Amino acid sequence: HRLAPSRPAAGLCRTRPMDLVFIVDSSRSVRPSEFEQVKVFLTKVIEGLDVGPNATRVGVVNYASGVKNEVSLKTYRNKAALVKAVTKIEPLATGTMTGLAIQFAMNVAFSEAEGARVRSSDISKVAIIVTDGRPQDNVKDVAARARDLGIQIFAIGVGRVDMNTLRQIASTPLEDHVDYVESYSIIEKLTKKFQEAFCGECTGSAEIKEITKTQPSDTESFKILNAFNLQETSSSRVKTKLRRKLKTKDSRDPLLRLNCGGTPHWCKNLVFSSSLISFDFTFCSFCRSSWSSRMTVSAHLINDGVRLQVQSVSYSNCKTFDLTSKYLCLMSTVWCILKIIPLSLCSDRASTVFSSLTLTLTRPSRLPPAVSDLCATGDHDCEQVCVSMPGSYKCACNEGFTLLEDGKSCSACSSSATDVVFLIDGSKSVRPENFELVKRFINQIVDKLDVAENKAHVGLVQYSSSVRQEFPLGLYNTKKDLKDAVKNMSYMEKGTMTGQALRYLVDNSFSVSHGARPGVSKVGIVFTDGRSQDYIGDAAKKAKEKEFKMYAVGVGNAVEDELKEIASDPQHYFYTADFKTINQIAKKLHVKVCKEENPCECESIVKFRTKVEDDIKALTKKYILFETSLEAVTKRIAALENKIV
């Protein structure tokens, strides 16, 4: 079985039996002090494991240009001896042969001769790779073979690591198996993630814990069984075991949370729709197979998500629930949208928030048909063109535009690849409430981009008195993941060193080591609300020399001359006096992601010539009676010329 993140309660978590191998990069780019920090990270993960011959066995592979098996799975039977062995590992300080290290782990470290157990559903095989550079060999194929053999791979990148390499190495879903930290000094913060991921049996009982305003809970992980979507879909298959997040938030009133030790929670028959005002459903949490807890919750839609409030908790077998449903439209051959009539309204004291639920619905039967032109009534969210269908609609785009993956937005050049980096002012003059508006501004622009592996990549850098990379280019390849990462960005709240931030953008953000792709257009979007405390001229000039397309957005006390200096074109700078109106700038700011054609290139000339010939043929057919081709017209003109001569 696969390991999935879950939230362990102190003293209640017992890790699942597994064979775990750390694959650690100790190439010359890793300083001795940094390698010590890696060893601290390894020991802290190990301290959270249940180590033993019948529990978790741990191995460590050290690599650079060569590979060294530092700790075999069979060597240490207790945690203390294992930790002591890890502290004695020395860096190899040569090249970076990551592919070779994965091959070694697959063939040697995970072999029965080195202590690995026979492959079974009860024993997971897990590899955690830590690296800070671009490999000197191929990793894609060997990592795929390792995954095919049932090895679950987590990839941790540090500093100037190549993000594409991490994605090629890691298991799916990538959001659970790829992690990035800016430096080795903060790699320790990933300890909790792996302790939670490896937490297995829940040895305690379920409890309801009160949370005060100063104690918001961590995000907990849930799986959804037999879930239904109330949105139109082209699939009739019910998806199961979908992982979602549930998080309690700050509130002036006490909050309630179900705490079930270390196991993942399971929701059964959860129904959700963004069109709902409120609804009731049954929520089930399993700690052991022999019992479950059932609590009924009510919810209503608010601006920041769906709020949930616990109404009652009882211990019984999980049962499905009944909801009164009302059809909106349904023909015999089309999908429908259902609206749930609420059974009761919820209180404003509700606190827990579900986010980003995407589930599926099988077509219900015996519902009366109804026809409604949703395009005519305006009941649609198409950006450009709404096409009516029997009882439904679909979105389309004007000529020259392409429909994006969300099925409603349009892009003028979706096939073009571009790297876009936001450089965001997080100085104290912005203020927390305005910083939230800035994050919405970023996501408005992200909505316009065609985000995908081979299309638009987005990076985010925040600056104040210092510069902090929030995430590099290529780390997220879906709009949802991107927008979630933007929402989670914390506010720095210090000075305004715009010049320093611009230098970071030019020298680092658009480098290959930070995820930039050679040969694609580079777009920088700078957002600031005040005069820079350092000189910006040299960095702004360098960005233009490198032909980066630079956009500058200023608010409030931003200096117009600085905005003009940053922008690569006079039409690329924007200003507004109030943060509340920056959403209007987002509507106007159309990032040009199309690759510009050279009119002198051969292909362009051929296209032009072909177009002219086609136009002449069309005009010939329209205006010359009885002539049906350009060749016939040419012959007629030649005959007339001969008569004149």
Hey, what are 608's tokens?
Answer: 């032009």
Is 593 within the bounds of a domain? no
Q: What kind and span of H or E run contains 441?
A: helix 432-448
Q: Say what the pLDDT of residue 48 is.
A: 84
Distances, alpha carbon 290 to alpha carbons 267, 286, 287, 293, 538, in Å: 16, 9, 9, 11, 68
253 and 295 assigned to the same domain: yes
> Taking the model in full, what pTM does it have?
0.37
Compare 270 and 344 and report the one with higher pLDDT.
270
Q: What kind and span of H or E run contains 42?
A: helix 32-47
143 and 26 assigned to the same domain: yes
Q: Choose one of 200, 231, 259: the last residue of a domain.
A: 200
Q: Residue 379: which CATH number? A: 2.10.25.10
Is 7 within the bounds of a domain? no
Residue 269's CB is within 10 A of a number of other CB atoms, namely 18
pLDDT at residue 209 is higher than 50: no
Q: With contact defined as beta carbons under 8 Å apart, do 237 and 339 qualify?
A: no
- Extended beta strands in 325-375, E state: 325-329, 337-340, 352-355
The CA distance from 99 to 137, in Å, is 6
Say which residue the tokens 């040569």 belong to. Answer: 94
The CA distance from 559 to 142, in Å, is 53
Question: Beta strand 305-315 with 352-355: parallel, antiparallel or unpaired?
Answer: antiparallel
The CA distance from 114 to 125, in Å, is 13
142 and 78 assigned to the same domain: yes
The CA distance from 348 to 299, in Å, is 10
List the one residue out of 534, 537, 560, 551 whose CA is nearest residue 427: 534
Domain interval for residue 60: 13-200
pLDDT at residue 546 is higher than 80: yes
The CA distance from 471 to 225, in Å, is 32
Is 6 within the bounds of a domain? no
pLDDT at residue 406 is higher than 90: no
Mean pLDDT, the chain, rounded, equals 69
Q: Choose one of 200, 216, 241: the last residue of a domain.
A: 200
Is 21 within the bounds of a domain? yes
Is 596 within the bounds of a domain? no
List the one residue out of 399, 450, 407, 481 whose CA is nearest residue 593: 450
Q: Say what the pLDDT of residue 639 is.
A: 65
The CA distance from 516 to 297, in Å, is 46
Compare 239 and 636 and report the one with higher pLDDT.
636
504 and 529 assigned to the same domain: yes
Q: Say what the pLDDT of residue 60 is.
A: 96
**Distance of alpha carbon 187 from its chain centroid, rounded?**
20
Name the H helices within 214-265: none
Compare 507 and 330 and report the one with higher pLDDT.
507
543 and 434 assigned to the same domain: yes
Length of the chain counted residue by residue: 645
Q: Residue 469: which CATH number? A: 3.40.50.410
404 and 423 assigned to the same domain: no
322 and 354 assigned to the same domain: yes
Instruction: Give φ, ψ of 193 to 5 degrees.
Output: -60, -45
Q: What kind and span of H or E run contains 285?
A: strand 278-288
| Residue 411's pLDDT band (cuts 50, 70, 90) | low
Q: With contact defined as beta carbons under 8 Å apart, do 125 and 151 qualify?
A: yes
Asked whether the bond before 173 is cis by omega within 30 degrees of 0, the reply is yes
pLDDT at residue 281 is higher than 50: no
355 and 403 assigned to the same domain: no
Mean pLDDT (whole number) for 115-130 = 86
pLDDT at residue 283 is higher than 90: no
Q: Choose one of 137, 169, 200: the last residue of a domain.
A: 200
Q: With contact defined as beta carbons under 8 Å apart, do 404 and 383 qualify?
A: no
Q: With contact defined as beta carbons under 8 Å apart, do 633 and 627 qualify?
A: yes
290 and 340 assigned to the same domain: yes
As for how many domains the chain has, the answer is 5
Is 348 within the bounds of a domain? yes
Say which residue the tokens 């987005």 belong to. Answer: 458
584 and 626 assigned to the same domain: no
142 and 19 assigned to the same domain: yes
DSSP string, 526-543: EEESS--SS--HHHHHHH
Is 273 within the bounds of a domain? yes
Hey, what are 620's tokens?
Answer: 């010939």
Q: Say what the pLDDT of residue 526 is.
A: 95
Question: Beta strand 124-131 with 67-71: parallel, antiparallel or unpaired?
Answer: unpaired
516 and 581 assigned to the same domain: yes
List the one residue out of 193, 184, 14, 216 whose CA is nearest residue 91: 184
List the one residue out of 465, 467, 470, 489 whose CA is nearest residue 421: 470
Say which residue the tokens 């914390």 belong to. Answer: 490
